[in-house]
Structure 1
Amino acid sequence: MNSPLPPAQRLPHILTHCRTIAVVGLSPQPHRSSFDVARYMQAQGYRIIPVNPNAITVLGEKAYASLSEAAQHEKIDLVNCFRRSEDIPPVVDEAIAIGAQAVWMQLGISHPAAAAKAEAAGLLVVQDHCLKIDHRVLLSSGLLSSPPIRVT
Protein backbone atom coordinates (compact mmCIF):
# COMPACT_ATOMS: atom_id res chain seq x y z
CA MET A 1 0.00 0.00 0.00
CA ASN A 2 1.31 3.43 -0.90
CA SER A 3 1.16 6.39 1.42
CA PRO A 4 -2.10 8.35 1.23
CA LEU A 5 -0.03 11.51 0.73
CA PRO A 6 2.17 12.16 -2.30
CA PRO A 7 5.89 12.54 -1.46
CA ALA A 8 5.80 16.33 -1.88
CA GLN A 9 3.15 16.59 0.86
CA ARG A 10 4.31 13.79 3.14
CA LEU A 11 7.30 15.53 4.74
CA PRO A 12 5.54 18.85 5.48
CA HIS A 13 2.53 16.94 6.83
CA ILE A 14 4.67 14.86 9.20
CA LEU A 15 6.67 17.85 10.40
CA THR A 16 3.52 19.91 10.95
CA HIS A 17 1.36 17.29 12.66
CA CYS A 18 3.88 15.11 14.51
CA ARG A 19 5.06 17.24 17.41
CA THR A 20 6.29 14.48 19.76
CA ILE A 21 9.20 12.45 18.40
CA ALA A 22 10.51 9.24 19.92
CA VAL A 23 14.12 8.88 18.81
CA VAL A 24 15.07 5.20 18.78
CA GLY A 25 18.80 4.89 19.28
CA LEU A 26 19.28 8.40 20.63
CA SER A 27 22.82 8.60 21.98
CA PRO A 28 23.72 10.78 24.98
CA GLN A 29 27.04 11.55 23.26
CA PRO A 30 27.00 15.04 21.66
CA HIS A 31 29.24 14.03 18.74
CA ARG A 32 26.73 11.42 17.49
CA SER A 33 24.31 12.20 14.66
CA SER A 34 21.29 11.09 16.68
CA PHE A 35 22.13 13.63 19.40
CA ASP A 36 22.67 16.43 16.86
CA VAL A 37 19.41 15.78 15.03
CA ALA A 38 17.39 15.43 18.26
CA ARG A 39 18.93 18.59 19.75
CA TYR A 40 18.07 20.54 16.59
CA MET A 41 14.47 19.27 16.56
CA GLN A 42 14.12 20.04 20.27
CA ALA A 43 15.35 23.59 19.62
CA GLN A 44 12.67 23.90 16.93
CA GLY A 45 9.95 23.23 19.50
CA TYR A 46 9.42 19.49 19.10
CA ARG A 47 9.15 17.22 22.13
CA ILE A 48 11.91 14.61 22.07
CA ILE A 49 11.49 11.24 23.77
CA PRO A 50 14.80 9.30 23.94
CA VAL A 51 14.58 5.54 23.40
CA ASN A 52 17.85 3.99 24.52
CA PRO A 53 18.04 1.16 27.07
CA ASN A 54 21.54 2.27 28.10
CA ALA A 55 20.71 5.90 28.93
CA ILE A 56 18.94 7.52 31.86
CA THR A 57 18.41 10.96 30.35
CA VAL A 58 19.31 12.59 27.06
CA LEU A 59 18.84 16.28 26.25
CA GLY A 60 17.16 16.75 29.63
CA GLU A 61 14.50 14.12 28.85
CA LYS A 62 13.95 10.77 30.57
CA ALA A 63 15.14 7.92 28.36
CA TYR A 64 13.07 4.77 27.92
CA ALA A 65 14.25 1.25 27.15
CA SER A 66 11.65 0.73 24.38
CA LEU A 67 8.93 2.48 22.43
CA SER A 68 6.34 0.45 24.31
CA GLU A 69 7.66 1.68 27.65
CA ALA A 70 7.80 5.29 26.42
CA ALA A 71 4.23 5.07 25.12
CA GLN A 72 3.01 4.19 28.63
CA HIS A 73 4.05 7.70 29.67
CA GLU A 74 3.99 9.77 26.48
CA LYS A 75 1.82 10.12 23.37
CA ILE A 76 4.24 9.52 20.49
CA ASP A 77 3.46 10.91 17.06
CA LEU A 78 6.64 10.15 15.12
CA VAL A 79 9.21 7.38 15.54
CA ASN A 80 12.62 8.55 14.29
CA CYS A 81 14.99 5.59 13.77
CA PHE A 82 18.73 5.66 14.31
CA ARG A 83 19.18 1.89 14.08
CA ARG A 84 20.64 -0.34 11.39
CA SER A 85 18.29 -1.27 8.57
CA GLU A 86 18.10 -4.89 9.74
CA ASP A 87 16.90 -3.69 13.17
CA ILE A 88 13.92 -1.76 11.74
CA PRO A 89 11.17 -4.47 11.63
CA PRO A 90 10.70 -4.71 15.43
CA VAL A 91 10.78 -0.91 15.70
CA VAL A 92 8.01 -0.70 13.08
CA ASP A 93 6.01 -3.36 14.93
CA GLU A 94 6.23 -1.28 18.12
CA ALA A 95 5.39 1.93 16.25
CA ILE A 96 2.24 0.28 14.91
CA ALA A 97 1.35 -1.13 18.34
CA ILE A 98 1.66 2.24 20.11
CA GLY A 99 -0.39 4.08 17.48
CA ALA A 100 2.33 6.34 16.09
CA GLN A 101 1.37 8.41 13.05
CA ALA A 102 4.67 8.03 11.22
CA VAL A 103 8.04 6.29 11.06
CA TRP A 104 11.12 8.14 9.84
CA MET A 105 14.28 6.19 8.96
CA GLN A 106 17.38 8.40 8.92
CA LEU A 107 19.92 8.69 6.10
CA GLY A 108 21.26 5.30 5.05
CA ILE A 109 18.44 3.42 6.77
CA SER A 110 15.69 1.67 4.85
CA HIS A 111 13.70 -1.52 5.04
CA PRO A 112 11.12 -1.88 2.24
CA ALA A 113 9.21 -4.75 3.86
CA ALA A 114 8.92 -2.97 7.22
CA ALA A 115 7.95 0.25 5.42
CA ALA A 116 5.21 -1.58 3.52
CA LYS A 117 3.93 -3.09 6.77
CA ALA A 118 3.84 0.34 8.44
CA GLU A 119 2.04 1.90 5.47
CA ALA A 120 -0.47 -0.98 5.40
CA ALA A 121 -1.19 -0.18 9.06
CA GLY A 122 -1.85 3.47 8.15
CA LEU A 123 1.46 5.04 9.18
CA LEU A 124 3.29 7.54 7.02
CA VAL A 125 6.82 6.34 6.22
CA VAL A 126 10.01 8.13 5.25
CA GLN A 127 13.17 6.16 4.45
CA ASP A 128 16.77 7.24 3.94
CA HIS A 129 16.17 10.91 4.82
CA CYS A 130 17.58 13.16 7.52
CA LEU A 131 14.91 14.75 9.71
CA LYS A 132 17.10 17.78 10.45
CA ILE A 133 18.05 18.40 6.82
CA ASP A 134 14.48 18.03 5.57
CA HIS A 135 13.16 20.29 8.32
CA ARG A 136 15.69 23.01 7.42
CA VAL A 137 14.91 22.75 3.69
CA LEU A 138 11.15 22.92 4.22
CA LEU A 139 11.48 25.78 6.71
CA SER A 140 13.72 27.83 4.41
CA SER A 141 11.50 27.17 1.38
CA GLY A 142 8.37 28.36 3.22
CA LEU A 143 6.69 24.94 3.04
CA LEU A 144 6.82 24.69 6.82
CA SER A 145 6.13 27.43 9.32
CA SER A 146 8.27 27.80 12.41
CA PRO A 147 6.29 26.74 15.47
CA PRO A 148 6.55 28.62 18.72
CA ILE A 149 9.45 27.41 20.83
CA ARG A 150 8.35 25.13 23.68
CA VAL A 151 8.97 26.42 27.17
CA THR A 152 9.31 23.65 29.74
Structure 2
Amino acid sequence: MNIEQILDRFRHIAVIGISDKPERASNSVSKYLIHAGYTIYPVNPGLKEIFGITCYPSLSAAAERHPGTIEIVNIFRQPDEVDEIVSEAVEIGAKVIWMQLGIINEDAAEKARKAGLDVIQNRCIAVEHKQLFG
Protein backbone atom coordinates (compact mmCIF):
# COMPACT_ATOMS: atom_id res chain seq x y z
CA MET A 1 0.00 0.00 0.00
CA ASN A 2 1.37 3.46 -0.81
CA ILE A 3 1.37 6.49 1.51
CA GLU A 4 -1.77 8.02 0.01
CA GLN A 5 -3.70 4.76 0.42
CA ILE A 6 -2.46 4.36 4.00
CA LEU A 7 -3.48 7.90 5.01
CA ASP A 8 -6.82 7.61 3.24
CA ARG A 9 -7.76 4.17 4.56
CA PHE A 10 -6.52 4.11 8.15
CA ARG A 11 -7.83 6.61 10.72
CA HIS A 12 -6.54 5.32 14.10
CA ILE A 13 -2.96 6.16 15.00
CA ALA A 14 -0.90 5.31 18.07
CA VAL A 15 1.72 8.02 18.62
CA ILE A 16 4.71 6.44 20.35
CA GLY A 17 6.86 8.95 22.19
CA ILE A 18 4.40 11.84 22.18
CA SER A 19 5.57 14.90 24.12
CA ASP A 20 3.62 17.53 26.02
CA LYS A 21 6.23 20.12 24.97
CA PRO A 22 4.73 22.25 22.15
CA GLU A 23 8.13 22.69 20.47
CA ARG A 24 8.53 18.94 19.94
CA ALA A 25 7.57 17.46 16.57
CA SER A 26 5.55 14.69 18.21
CA ASN A 27 3.33 17.34 19.80
CA SER A 28 2.69 19.43 16.69
CA VAL A 29 2.30 16.39 14.42
CA SER A 30 -0.25 14.89 16.81
CA LYS A 31 -2.23 18.16 16.90
CA TYR A 32 -2.18 18.19 13.11
CA LEU A 33 -3.46 14.60 12.93
CA ILE A 34 -6.32 15.37 15.31
CA HIS A 35 -7.33 18.41 13.27
CA ALA A 36 -7.12 16.31 10.09
CA GLY A 37 -9.73 13.95 11.53
CA TYR A 38 -7.60 11.09 12.80
CA THR A 39 -8.05 9.46 16.20
CA ILE A 40 -4.78 9.31 18.11
CA TYR A 41 -3.75 7.04 20.96
CA PRO A 42 -0.89 8.82 22.76
CA VAL A 43 1.83 6.59 24.22
CA ASN A 44 4.28 7.98 26.78
CA PRO A 45 4.75 6.39 30.20
CA GLY A 46 5.52 9.80 31.72
CA LEU A 47 2.20 11.43 30.83
CA LYS A 48 -1.34 10.85 32.11
CA GLU A 49 -3.04 12.76 29.29
CA ILE A 50 -2.40 15.17 26.44
CA PHE A 51 -4.88 17.34 24.53
CA GLY A 52 -7.54 15.97 26.90
CA ILE A 53 -6.84 12.41 25.67
CA THR A 54 -5.69 9.60 27.97
CA CYS A 55 -2.02 8.82 27.47
CA TYR A 56 -0.94 5.17 27.75
CA PRO A 57 2.30 3.79 29.17
CA SER A 58 2.78 1.39 26.23
CA LEU A 59 1.34 0.44 22.87
CA SER A 60 0.03 -2.78 24.41
CA ALA A 61 -1.82 -0.81 27.11
CA ALA A 62 -3.45 1.41 24.47
CA ALA A 63 -4.47 -1.64 22.43
CA GLU A 64 -5.86 -3.37 25.50
CA ARG A 65 -8.11 -0.37 26.13
CA HIS A 66 -9.04 -0.07 22.42
CA PRO A 67 -8.86 -3.62 21.04
CA GLY A 68 -8.59 -3.95 17.28
CA THR A 69 -8.64 -0.22 16.58
CA ILE A 70 -4.99 0.88 16.27
CA GLU A 71 -4.01 0.72 12.61
CA ILE A 72 -0.93 2.94 12.27
CA VAL A 73 1.90 2.95 14.81
CA ASN A 74 3.63 6.32 14.39
CA ILE A 75 7.05 6.23 16.06
CA PHE A 76 8.91 9.18 17.59
CA ARG A 77 11.62 7.13 19.34
CA GLN A 78 15.28 6.35 18.71
CA PRO A 79 15.97 3.78 15.96
CA ASP A 80 17.32 1.25 18.50
CA GLU A 81 13.91 1.25 20.25
CA VAL A 82 11.91 0.46 17.10
CA ASP A 83 12.35 -3.32 17.17
CA GLU A 84 10.48 -3.70 20.45
CA ILE A 85 7.72 -1.38 19.21
CA VAL A 86 7.38 -3.44 16.02
CA SER A 87 6.98 -6.60 18.12
CA GLU A 88 4.14 -4.96 20.04
CA ALA A 89 2.58 -3.63 16.82
CA VAL A 90 2.55 -7.11 15.31
CA GLU A 91 1.07 -8.53 18.49
CA ILE A 92 -1.82 -6.02 18.57
CA GLY A 93 -2.65 -6.44 14.87
CA ALA A 94 -1.53 -3.02 13.61
CA LYS A 95 -1.39 -2.53 9.84
CA VAL A 96 1.36 0.08 9.41
CA ILE A 97 4.66 1.02 11.06
CA TRP A 98 5.48 4.67 10.44
CA MET A 99 8.91 5.90 11.50
CA GLN A 100 9.13 9.68 11.60
CA LEU A 101 11.87 11.82 10.02
CA GLY A 102 15.33 10.69 11.00
CA ILE A 103 14.18 7.25 12.14
CA ILE A 104 15.41 4.28 10.13
CA ASN A 105 15.75 0.70 11.35
CA GLU A 106 16.02 -1.76 8.46
CA ASP A 107 15.98 -4.87 10.66
CA ALA A 108 12.77 -3.78 12.40
CA ALA A 109 11.27 -2.75 9.06
CA GLU A 110 11.96 -6.18 7.60
CA LYS A 111 10.50 -7.85 10.69
CA ALA A 112 7.32 -5.76 10.26
CA ARG A 113 7.08 -6.52 6.54
CA LYS A 114 7.49 -10.25 7.16
CA ALA A 115 4.56 -10.00 9.59
CA GLY A 116 2.44 -8.35 6.87
CA LEU A 117 2.66 -4.71 7.94
CA ASP A 118 3.34 -1.82 5.59
CA VAL A 119 6.40 0.21 6.60
CA ILE A 120 7.24 3.87 6.09
CA GLN A 121 10.63 5.14 7.29
CA ASN A 122 12.20 8.57 7.63
CA ARG A 123 9.05 10.51 6.67
CA CYS A 124 6.81 12.89 8.57
CA ILE A 125 3.19 11.75 8.55
CA ALA A 126 1.93 15.37 8.79
CA VAL A 127 4.08 16.57 5.88
CA GLU A 128 2.96 13.64 3.74
CA HIS A 129 -0.71 14.30 4.62
CA LYS A 130 -0.43 18.02 3.80
CA GLN A 131 1.18 17.27 0.44
CA LEU A 132 -1.45 14.70 -0.51
CA PHE A 133 -4.62 16.12 1.00
CA GLY A 134 -3.82 19.81 1.59
TM class by shorter-chain length?
A: over 0.9
Instruction: Give the TM-score of the pair, scaled to structure 2.
Output: 0.96
Task: Tell me the SS of whatever aligns to 1:41.
Answer: helix
After TM superposition, give the deviation of residue 55 of structure 1 in Å. Answer: 0.2
**Aligned-residue offset at 1:28:** 1.2
**What CA distance in whole angstroms lies between the structure 1 residues aligned with 2:104 and 2:85?**
12
Partner Cα separation in structure 2 for residue 46 and residue 59 of structure 1: 14
The answer to whether residue 99 in structure 2 is matched with residue 117 in structure 1 is no
Partner in structure 2 of residue 69 of structure 1: 61
Work out which of the residue numbers 43, 48, 56 in structure 2 matches 1:51: 43
Q: Structure 1 residue runs of 4+, over 4 Å off?
A: none
How much is the aligned-residue C-alpha RMSD, in angstroms? 0.7
Quote how far apart the aligned CAs of 1:136 are.
Answer: 0.3
Q: Equivalent residue of 2:94, what SS?
A: coil
The separation in 2 between residues aligned to 1:85 and 1:18, in whole angstroms, is 24
Q: CA deviation at 1:73?
A: 1.1
1:29 equivalent to 2:17? Answer no
User: What TM-score do the two structures reach when normalised by structure 1?
Assistant: 0.85
The answer to whether residue 125 in structure 2 is matched with residue 131 in structure 1 is yes
Gaps of 5+ in 2: none
- Percent identity between matched residues is 42
Aligned-partner residue type, residue 107 of structure 1: L
Larger Rg: 1
Greater RCO structure (CA 8 Å; 6+ sep): 1
In structure 1, runs of 5+ residues without a counterpart are: 141-152
